[in-house]
Amino acid sequence: MKVFCEKKNGRMRILLSGELDHNVARGVMSSIDALIDENLPRECILDMGGLSFMDSSGIAVILRTNKHMTDVGGRTWVENCEGQALRVLDAAGIDRVVKVYSK
């Protein structure tokens, strides 16, 4: 599991790659928390194009990132989600809380 970050004009893109499950979720959450606190972006994009697997732990990551961004007055959405990870987000109906753009 890897977490990369690209910044440009107040927009932060977080690229997640590998398998996102409970075993790695805590580490991913604290990486994202640190990135938000450090950069205070207006927009935070969770780019899930690199995920080969994700379970409901990924939903907790999205919800927590969304809450943190709301706290600092910004917005969050998900991009490039596809395949198995997209089916998980669809089954959970996360779209009602955080927008999901698929590939």
Partner 1 sequence: MKSMNYIKVEFPSSSVNESFARNVAGCFAAQLDPTLEELGDIKTAVSEAVTNCIVHAYPDKLGVVLMKARILPENTLEIVVKDKGVGIADINKAREPMFTTGGDERSGMGFTIMESFMDKVKVRSTAGKGTTVTMRRRIICRKQVK
102: three-class secondary structure by DSSP: strand
Q: Considering the rule CB under 8 A, would residue 70 count as an interface residue with partner 1? A: no
The single residue among 5, 13, 19, 77 that binds partner 1, judged by CB under 8 A, is 19
Applying the rule CB under 8 A, the residues between 46 and 65 that interact with partner 1 are: 53, 55-57, 59-60, 63-64
Q: Which residue has the tokens 């990135």?
A: 35
* 79 touches partner 1 (CB under 8 A): no
Residue among 53, 43, 59 at smallest CA distance from 17: 53
Q: Which is nearer to partner 1, 22 or 99 (CB)?
A: 22
Question: How many CA atoms, within 13 angstroms, populate the side-chain half-sphere of residue 87?
Answer: 4
